[in-house]
Amino acid sequence: MDSPLKQTSASNSHVVLEYLLISIPHIWTKRRQIILCVGLMTVLTTVIVLLIPSQYTAETSILPDLEKNKLLGLAGASDLAAVTGLNIGEAPVSKLYPVMVKSARILSEVLYTKYKTSEFPDSVDLIRFWGIKKRNEAEKFEKALDLLRDRMEVSFDNRLGTLSLKVSMEEPGLAADVANRATSELDIYTRTKKRTSVTAQREFIEMRLKDVASALASVEDSLRSFREKNRRVADSPQLVLMQGRLERAVQINSTIFIELKKQVEIAKIEEIKNVPIINVLDPARVPVASSSPQKLADIVFAFLLSLGTSVVAVAASVNPVIREFLHQIRLSYKKLRG
């Protein structure tokens, strides 16, 4: 069902158009006032647009993880996990990138990094660049953090797993530097968390390795003692059964011990790795043109809007049908809002 506003427009638009055409002679007599109004609005819009600082947007793209970060990657590791108590499943870290890159932990480093700008002779951080003045450093940081988050646009493609980061700044070089710095800090944070996680898993595996080694030594001693006491096992079905149980216990604990020993070595190698985790497809480049405001488009829009408004206002001043039409539109709009 159409809204009242659409019904009113559909029923009266052709009538209003006819009366606008009839009102052309009167509109022409008011051309000086219309030109003055349109000129003032256009000039005012031009001044405002020119006073608004230009914004430059730099964009960087990040690929998903090319290799899952798993400690247990050997054949048969999934079966072993159920025995040892290890959980090798892991969600892709890249899905957390949009939240991580706008976190205070990462953006604090971005805010306090020194950047080269055309406005200052020396390198300055973003708090000084924006001229933020508060009562204390904590308030300055919170204000700068909110401002930086507003300047950042993060989007994540669930299908491809790619992250797009856009940063808008008053200077083109600064926009690119801040975007690349945010990507770098995201990589450093991810590497640090990975190394911490690997260390924790190595310590857990080493603890399990000690337990399994102790259990293996115990069952081996039991099997040795059993064989020393029972030289002729084949003559007794009960002894054969007991020997089989001890041999299986030794085999199981031996298998677990060997696999855990491998995982300890893998974890030690992972700990000393310092390779980048973030796969940057396109680093941020210095933008060649401003992204906002769209000065020419804003000026043209203001010109057309003021021209149309002036013409309709002049026509409505002498034509009651047009006044009634505008009144009905206002009433319908109020109903829609209320």
Q: Which residues contact 144 (CB under 8 A, 6 or more apart)?
A: 111, 126, 127, 130, 132
Separation CA 271–CA 273 (nearest Å): 6
Domain 56-282 of CATH type 3.30.1890: yes
Provide the β-strand partners of residue 157. 162
Per-residue b or e along 268-301, where b marks 16 or more CB atoms closer than 10 Å to that residue's CB:
eebeeeeeebbebeeebeebeebbebeeeebbee
Following DSSP, what letter does each residue of 210-270 receive, concatenated? HHHHHHHHHHHHHHHHHHHH-S--TT-HHHHHHHHHHHHHHHHHHHHHHHHHHHHHHHHHH
**Residue pointed to by tokens 């290799």:** 67
Which letter does DSSP use for residue 92 in this model? -
The DSSP code for 67 is S
Residues of the chain with CATH 3.30.1890: 56-282
Are the C-beta atoms of 110 and 186 separated by less than 8 Å? no
pTM of full prediction above 0.75 = no
Residue owning tokens 């190698």: 269
Q: Are 220 and 252 in contact (CB under 8 A)?
A: no
pLDDT tens track, the chain, 338 positions? 444 444 444 455 666 566 666 667 767 777 788 788 888 887 887 777 666 777 899 999 988 655 544 433 433 344 444 444 444 444 456 677 888 899 999 999 999 999 999 989 999 999 999 999 888 889 999 999 999 999 999 988 888 778 899 999 999 999 999 999 999 998 888 888 777 777 788 888 889 999 999 999 999 999 899 888 887 877 788 888 988 899 999 999 999 999 999 988 888 887 776 555 678 888 999 988 877 667 677 778 877 887 778 777 777 776 676 667 666 777 776 777 76
